[in-house]
Structure 1
Amino acid sequence: MSIGAVARRVRAYGGQFLLLAALAAVTLALIAGVPRLVNGRTEAGLQSFLRSQPATVRDVTYATDTIFNAGNGTSLMEAFAADLPRLQDEMPPPVRALVDQRWFTAETDPGRLTGPDLAARNLLVDLGLRSMPGVAEAGRLTGGRWPDPTATAEDPVEIALAAEVAGKLNLRVGSKLTLAGPQSATPEGAPDPVRALVVGVFEPRDRAGGFWDGLPQALRVIEPIGDAQPFVALGVVDPATLDRLSADGWGLRFAWRYRMGASGIHAVDADRLIGDVDRMGRQAQGRAFTQGLDIPLRQFQDQVASVRTVLAVSATGALGALAGLVILAAGLTVRRRRTEFTLLRARGGAALVGARRSLSESLLVLLPAAGAGFALGNLAPGPAAESASAAAVAATLLIVLALPLATLALPTGVAQRRDLVTMRPSARRITMEAGLVLLAVIGVLLLRRRGLVPGVVDPLLVSVPVLLAVAAAVLTIRLYPWPLRLLGRLAARTRGSVAFLGSARGARAVVTTPLVVVVLAVASAAFCGVVAAGVEASRDRVAARQVPADGLIRGERLAPDTGAELARLPGVRRASPFLQEAGQRLATDEDGTDLRVGEVSVLLVNGPELDALVRDADVPVGVPDALLGSGDAGPLPAVVSPAVAADLAAAGRDGSAFVGVQGQRYEFRVAARADSFPLLRGETTRFVVLPWQQLPRRTTDVTPTGFLVAGDRLDVSELRRVGNEGQRRFARGGTIVGREQPLDVEVTTWTQARRQVGEGGVNAVLGFGFTAGAVVGTALGLLAVAFVVLAGARARGQALSQLRTLGLSRGQSRGLLLVELGPLVGVAVVTGAVVGALLPLLLNPVLGLSAFTGGAPVEVAFEPRLVVGVVVLGAVALGFAIVVEALNNRRTRLGEALRLGEES
């Protein structure tokens, strides 16, 4: 068979082959391009996620216990400093390549520090000495000099202190001190005290730089945790000083810290990197090994596993619709050439003659088209998927074989007038369709019972949505002709012919495969839309739980009049106070007799004000009725968590118990239970919420720790200013004036909280998947509608030609087309939308969508916008069908349909 003859046949049927080539190119472009786009967004999401984490999580640290000099003249500092490059060389190659910075430190245990400047303020201080190579480059002296490496054992130990440390400890350049040896567990006991001298005060050049991230930090003082406890600080000394002290019996601890660069960590290598870091911990050879890199990587991998599951469901629907379109295009092509293949058989050709012709044509047209589509898809940004090549080969093979297989399946006998009789399905077909519906139901039950393996593209998971869509399409095919037949009987009694003829033709239409493709494509688009809406609504609820208003000001204690100051700010309509205290104990009486249950977090809110505020801010938060009362005698009505309610019920105190709030105890009773409450962290499982407006009068009123505000265009800087002023007024006006300036208040708007929930990680991948799935599903649905039209175009053209000769007007012919195609297109679109809306409800327990909402469950519910989308899509699809039919009629010229039709 010559290539020239094949090329001439391809040219003769250029339209059909062009359609097949376009489908092949689109399919291969999606197979190659979409994984690249997903991988690229996953890579960007990982980089964004790692940069949003503290830089210290990328640190890998080796450390030793306290080591004492053996007295053999060896320099411990030189010996252990040499391990900094050696430990890096021993790392697995992927981890070693990621090391961006590295540091070596040596330090002593803290010893008691005394001196005149400390005694002037009666300060109890323990000081450790640390050697930090490179400190002169990372710090800037504000006074004095750096310790002298040439100092002798007769000289005092020269120390440099951070400016913040020196200021808090009342030390300065020239302060003379005495440092006692640490109480190390050695047979000789503690070493003798040494004289010390502060020779320099410094500030960090870059406080956020990794050089200063070692623990404990050298830049600040560790506050005492109780009465009669010392301040703990670190001083910087020269390495030679530590060597001299170790020779005198001081113990030294060493640490080697390596920071991994975020830009070098790739999503495809995350699993291997986690395994390498775990192996490093097992091979630490007696050193303490600490790292936090695996925690964010595992969190990210969990999100990737969930998004891979969701995208697999969406992609399977799109690929299934594309496969159906290829089958439809191949069937349409061979039906147009039915006479040719029948003539070949009549002239004595074998059964495979037509298939060989079709195969040669497919190889000439579809193979290059598939290659071009694959090359085009590979131009998409992002790394290629490992399985993309294998999937492309399989898809190309199936596409190339679609045309010859359709040729083999084409009956070559005399065509029957399928448009004039009601086609009755055979018993075999009825059995197959019933089995398909039963298989879809069993698949759903098995999937919900068995669950899902995270991160694995489960064959059952990806096949169940397709089975459900196909089963729904089969049921629709069997059911929708019955209402049309009833409509036809009613239309037969009317005077017009359009409604009767259109409903009669619509009831007899046999378009099984096109209808299945329409349902599958629309279901895929609807699934993406419904899941996206459910995730967005859940993120709104998470943000509202964090900030149940337009803005949140949280601090230590704020003056009560801060609320009035906030209300006077431009854009602020309402302000309501709240009080939150953690770590409170429940008691049986006002004297504080411990109930001997776990600690609770206490939250006080003004119920009526909070209810009015959340309504004004229009956030999805409800205030329990128990907190809305005006106040009665007796215990306060409280909303408690289930764990607290169970403890109180077990102790018989659910009707009366006491809890402390800012040094006072209030009696409460369990009035309602709630799994969570706004303003509390999601992991808080033990809490008591009390109504502020019902608190009994006391000599000392409770003081708010924050305020909620409702308003428009809030100025965060102004909210912070008013909150800080409120903190300062309380600090100055209290009975005990704080010795330190309180930290700035934390200001968060609902918009900021919502952005934090919806950004970072693989949320961009999920958004891309939903958008692409909805767009591709809609486009494929419209294309399938075109095939629905083309499947019956020949028969409709003949009928319209005959009716036009009998006096049917042009307007009536368009009405006839509308009546015939309207029910079919409408039923297909509605069926696909219903299937797409039901899929999230059926699959929600196994999709793992909570990974995209900070752990909060995703509630997939009826989406009202889906109804609008269905109506719009149905109207567009019907208009598209009419346009396709009009273009086809213009191309085939209805006047010639009677002469060209086989039966006419």
Structure 2
Amino acid sequence: MRIPLGVREHAGTAALLAVLTAVACLLLAGLPRTMQGAFDEALRETLTTAPAVQADLTVTGEPATPDGDLHERAQLESHDPRWRELLPAALRPLVRPAGHVSAKTFRTPVTETSDPLHYLNLGWLSDADRRVDWVQGLAPGKSSTMLHQGTTIPVIEVGVVDEAVRMMGLRIGQTKVIGESAQVAVKIVGVFTAKDPGDRSWSHDADILHVTWVVPMTAPEEFHTTTLMSDDGLSVLDSRKYHLTYRWVLPLDGQAANALAAPDVDAAVAELQRQLAVQGTSTINYRLVTGLPRLLGDFGIALSAVRTIVYLVLGGLLAVALGVIALGVRLLTDRMRHTLTLARARGGSLWQVAGAGAALTVLAVWPAALAGYALSYLVPGPVLPIVHLGPAVVAVAAVVFAVTRVVLAHRTPLHEHRDDVVAVRPSARRVTVEALVVVLAPVGAYLLRARGTAGSAQQDPFLLLIPVALALAAALITLRCYPYPLRLLVRLAARGRGAVPFLGLTRAARARSASALPVLILLPALSVSVFAAVIHDGIATTQQMASWQKVGAPIKLTSVGDIPADAIERVRRAPGVEQVALAYTGRVQLGDTGERPYAVAVDLAQWRQVAGDAPIDLPTLSGSGSALLSPGLGGRGTFEMRWLSPVTLTAQGVIDSVPGFYSSGQFLLVPREVLPWPAANTLLIKGDAAPAELARLVPSATVETQQQALAAIRADPLTGTVSSTLLVVTVALGAYALAAIVLSLVIGAPDRVRAVSLLRTLGLSDRQARRLTVLELLPMVLVTALVGLGLGLVLPGALGPGVDMASYAGGLPVGDYSPGLLTPLALAGGLAVCAVLGAYAHTAVGRRRNLGAVLRVGDLL
């Protein structure tokens, strides 16, 4: 056979098959790259936005004997290359070259202080000159000595942060004696501030930049600050006198991370911990302090959920695309049937005929697969194995299907078969396999709900197989069962006077074998696309709820101190403000127990007016002396609360959260009537006022809006990936389902045109011909659409505990998949309408054909 001549003869069919293949390969190779790029971006954002003390690798050294003390800068800095040599290969690209070293004491008390207790810790930073500005006095210099209680003790020049000057009453020129058994004096010579308070490296040294205020339950309150000293002060540090710790910070470069290497990084951190434990000696112990494994673990849990959803819908897309391409190959081989039959009858071997069909399919499919594969490289993102595997599977599967179909059709020369047989009895093997799939699919779904996922951060193959098995089981049941109700309709139509309903429904009932492949394509396409739409709507709805839970009102204005009454009035009169509810928050003490939870005093009636129809449940308090307590405070009756003034309250019940205020920890909600005066430090505002204008009216306040909170939730890279991928797959599956309907029309066109032409010779009108074609096609499309719609709506609930989408919905669990049915019904109804329109168009095209060209001699006999 001349293969180029065959390509030219069937150019239209080959072009259609090429388009279907190119689009499938582009989606299957491009979407994984986009997703992996989003995964990498999300991990980098996680590592770069987390506090540096969590993401960085910090090696701590604690001297066990004085021989382990390090008294010079060079000694401390010489350890940094040593730690970098120990880094495993997976960590070396992630660690930046610029780190810093620190030496600090902790819980070093000031001698002879009473209530409150003051602690002045000694601190040294290797890069202090780069990170602080001396705003008062001088930078610390060399140490000296002084006489204290008849003993000569060292005097170390230090600087303190400006916050310590305000909170602890420290000033330049003061000399404080610190320590317990062995004492040393510190002389305050300067006051410093951070050059860049937002520098992430300050999270390692927050004790230097800020004063820590501690309120023990049964002891006086404490103030802790860490001073800064010069290199000369290192010589005074003695592990026998102080609690002394050295820290070498190896900063992490979050931008160099990628999600694929995250498991290797986690294992490398564990290896580094083991190596550091070995490096310890009898004089000093080393250990690794980092929150990187926890960050990677939390990211892995979030990534597992999105991978499950995304790869599930991609698997559905692959199955549907292969099915539609198989329909195209079937159309191509059907068009070649007479040519291949003639070649077989003239002595061509089976493999020659099969090779001709395979060659023609290769020419139609493989260049298109390569084109789609090449176009996927225009999509940003790393190249994964699936990028190569997806197009290869499509190209090979198309050729294998073509060869199989040609071999089965031309096993023997002039192999004839009946196309109008009502039903063919399936083999026992096929019935057994189908029954096994139908039984195991719901059993697997039940087991999935019962046990959940196999691992929090690992992909669960069971979770990926169950939805596919459910779709296949539903398709098999539909394929086997839908002719039976049609036969009942045929019996009813037979009693009527019109021949068109009887003939149309009869042909639909007899078309089971011809419509098997379209059913197996349409049902997964609809179910997966509806599933994607339901998941998308469920996430969007929960995101809305999470944003309201975070803010509690359209606009929330929070001040560090009480908001003056005139400022509240200015806010009420601001443009765009409709209503304002007042609230007061603060820490309280419950009786003599020492418990200090947070309290919220708010007018709930005003708050409900502000919230309107927002998706948050506001609690109800029965009286002015009642309170709602968090679970950690529940289980008490009447109690005393000490706040602005003591008040006796009665616990009304337990509340899990106060929207806009607290969702964890210890807290309670009380009415505003418990306040001795109408104080307010929080305003809940209804309206569309400009946040910048409200911040100008109350300079000490911060302004949050529900829309800003929602935008922040949706701005997460993983969240955007889930939404965009679900949208693309939904559109692609809808397009493939439409293509399946069109191809099924074209494949059945010869038999349908011949039947309609025959009936036209018996007086069938054009209108009746259109009705006949619609009645033949519509039952299969409607039944498949309804089953696919139902399965798509059930799948999210069937997956149940296997998919945790809380990470993409502001932390709230996405458990209520009850979206509006507009999108699912539009998908199902759109396909049905397209089927009807296709049937009308097909009838209009067939009407123009000459009956003599359709009906051959013998067709009327």
**TM-score if structure 1 supplies the norm length?**
0.82
Superposed CA offset, 1:663-714 (max 9, x none) = 42333253x5554442354334x65444446x5xx8x247444232211x22
Residue 75 of structure 2 is aligned to residue 93 of structure 1: no
Unmatched 5+ stretches in structure 1: 184-188, 586-591, 725-743
**Per-residue deviation at 1:583?**
6.8
The answer for the alignment partner of 2:3 in structure 1 is 6
* Number of the residue aligned with 1:26: 23
Equivalence for 1:738? none
Name the SS for the 1:543 alignment partner.
Answer: helix
What displacement does 1:789 show? Answer: 1.2
SS of equivalent to 2:618: coil
1:512 equivalent in alignment to 2:512 = no
Q: Out of 191, 209, 212, which is 1:222 matched to? A: 212
Q: Measured at CA, do residues 322 and 720 of structure 1 come closer, stay the same or move farther in structure 2, by a change above 3 Å?
A: same
Identity, % of aligned pairs? 27
Cα distance in 2 for residues equivalent to 1:180 and 1:658? 42
Equivalent-residue separation in structure 2 for 1:156 and 1:692 (angstroms) = 54
Q: Are the counterparts in 2 of residues 104 and 256 from structure 1 also a CA contact under 8 Å? A: yes
Preserved CA contact (<8 Å) 1:140 1:203: yes
Give the Cα separation in 2 of the matches to 1:142 and 1:640: 47
Moved more, 276-285 or 156-165: 156-165
Counterpart for residue 260 of structure 2: 268
- The answer to whether residue 605 in structure 2 is matched with residue 623 in structure 1 is no
- How many residue pairs end up in the alignment? 835
Query: Aligned partners of 1:216 and 1:484: how far apart in 2?
Result: 76
Cα pair distance change 1:111/1:394, threshold 3 Å:
closer
1:812-851 equivalences in 2 (<5 Å): 812-851=768-807
2:754, 2:854 within 8 Å by CA — same for their partners in 1?
yes
Which deviates more, 809-818 or 297-306?
809-818
Counterpart of 1:50 in structure 2: which amino acid? Answer: L
Amino acid across the alignment from 1:234: T
Pair 1:277–1:459, CA change in 2 (3 A): closer
Name 2:743's counterpart in structure 1. 787
Residue matched to 1:65: 62
Q: Distance in 1 between matches of 2:415 and 2:240?
A: 107
Match of 2:541 among 533, 537, 552: 537
Paired amino acid for 1:237: M
Q: CA, structure 1 residues 558+43, in 2 after alignment: closer, same or farther (shift >3 Å)? A: same
Distance 1:191 1:891, change over 3 A: farther
Q: 1:49 aligns with which of 46, 49, 53?
A: 46
Seen in structure 2, the aligned counterparts of structure 1 residues 776 and 71 have a Cα distance that, compared at 3 Å, is closer
Pair 1:138-2:131 in alignment? yes
1:568 and 2:573 equivalent? Answer: yes
CA distance in 1, matches of 2:89, 2:433: 56
Task: Note the C-alpha offset of 1:87.
Answer: 1.8
Change (3 A) 1:829 1:256: same
Q: After alignment, is 523-532 or 21-30 more displaced?
A: 21-30
Is 2:718 the partner of 1:720? no
Comparing 7-16 with 82-91, greater Cα deviation is found at 7-16
Q: Which runs of structure 2 are paired with 1:314-463 in the superposition (5 Å)?
A: 314-347=313-346, 349-390=348-389, 392-410=391-409, 413-416=415-418, 418=420, 422-423=422-423, 425-426=425-426, 428=428, 433-453=434-454, 454-463=456-465
Quick one: structure 1 residues 30 and 895, their matched pair in 2 at CA, closer, same or farther if it must change by over 3 Å?
farther
Is 1:238 the counterpart of 2:230? The answer is yes
Deviates more, 1:15-24 or 1:424-433: 424-433
Residue identity matched to 2:248: W
Q: Partner residue of 2:555?
A: 551
Change (3 A) 1:643 1:823: farther
Q: 1:629-644 counterparts in 2 under 5 A?
A: 631=623, 636=626, 638-640=627-629
Residues 870, 136 of structure 1: alpha-carbon distance in 2 compared, 3 angstrom cutoff? closer
DSSP-derived class of the 1:105 partner: strand
Would the alpha carbon gap of residues 168 and 822 (structure 1) be closer, same or farther in structure 2, given more than 3 Å must change? same
Distance 1:113 1:279, change over 3 A: same
Distance in structure 2 (CA, Å) of the matches to 1:81 and 1:301: 35
1:512 Cα deviation from its structure 2 partner: 1.7
Partner in structure 2 of residue 577 of structure 1 = 582
Cα offsets for 1:248-305 (capped at 9, x unmatched): 9888542211211121111111111122123223332322431122222221111111
Q: Structure 1's 123 and 462: CA in aligned 2 closer, same or farther, altered over 3 A?
A: closer
Contact 1:65 1:253 in 2 (8 A): yes
Structure 2 residue aligned with 1:897 = 854
Q: Give yes or no for contact 2:108–2:242 (8 Å, CA) kept in 1.
A: no
The answer (yes or no) to whether the contact 2:781–2:832 under 8 Å persists in 1 is no
CA gap of 1:278–1:854, structure 2 versus 1, over 3 A, is: farther
Secondary structure of the corresponding residue to residue 251 of structure 2? strand
What amino acid sits opposite 2:686 in the alignment?
A
Cα distance, 1:756 vs structure 2? 2.9
Instruction: Report the CA distance between 1:879 and its aligned residue.
Output: 5.6
**Which residue identity lines up with residue 548 of structure 2 in the other structure?**
A
Q: Give 2:80's match in structure 1, choosing from 68, 78, 84.
A: 84
Alignment of 1:124-203 (within 5 A): 125-148=118-141, 157-166=156-165, 175-183=172-180, 189-193=181-185, 196=187, 198=189, 200-203=190-193
Q: 1:477 to 1:365 in 2, by over 3 A?
A: closer
Decide whether aligned partners of structure 1 residues 458 and 388 sit closer, same or farther in structure 2, where only a CA change above 3 A counts.
Answer: farther
Cα distance change, pair 620–167 in 1 and its aligned pair in 2 (3 A): closer
- Runs (5+) with no aligned partner, structure 2: 147-153
The answer to whether the 8 Å contact 2:550/2:660 transfers is yes
Q: In the superposition, relative to structure 1, how do residues 569 and 192 fare at CA in structure 2: closer, same or farther (>3 Å)?
A: closer
The correspondence of residues 505-904 of structure 1 with structure 2, limited to 5 A, is 505-510=507-512, 511-555=515-559, 558-559=562-563, 561=565, 564-581=569-586, 585=590, 592=591, 602-615=599-612, 618-624=613-619, 626-627=620-621, 631=623, 636=626, 638-640=627-629, 647-648=635-636, 653=637, 662-670=644-652, 674-684=655-665, 688-692=668-672, 700-701=676-677, 703-711=679-687, 713-723=688-698, 744-858=700-814, 859-866=816-823, 868-870=825-827, 872-874=829-831, 876-878=833-835, 881-882=838-839, 885=842, 889=846, 896-899=853-856
Partner of 2:471: 469
In the alignment, residue 664 of structure 2 is paired with which amino acid? E
Shift of 1:323: 2.0
8 Å contact from structure 2 (residues 737, 831) kept in 1? no
Alignment partners' CA distance in 2, 1:543 and 1:211: 31
Q: Does the 8 A contact of 1:49 with 1:761 survive in 2?
A: no
Deviations 1:216-242 (A, max 9, x none): 443333346478656433333321243
- SS of equivalent residue, structure 1 residue 142: strand
- Greater CA deviation, 328-337 or 600-609? 600-609
Deviates more, 1:10-19 or 1:307-316: 10-19
Q: Shift of the alpha carbon at 1:868?
A: 4.4
Aligned 8 A contact 2:160 2:188 in 1: no
Q: In the aligned structure 1, how far is the partner of 2:3 from the partner of 2:85?
A: 63
Which residue is 1:291 aligned to?
290
Alignment map for 1:94-133 (pairs within 5 Å):
94-100=90-96, 101-108=98-105, 125-133=118-126
CA distance in 1, matches of 2:66, 2:488: 101
1:900 to 1:762, Cα distance in 2 relative to 1, 3 A: farther
1:520-547 Cα distance to aligned partner (Å, 9 max, x none): 1111111100011111112222222222
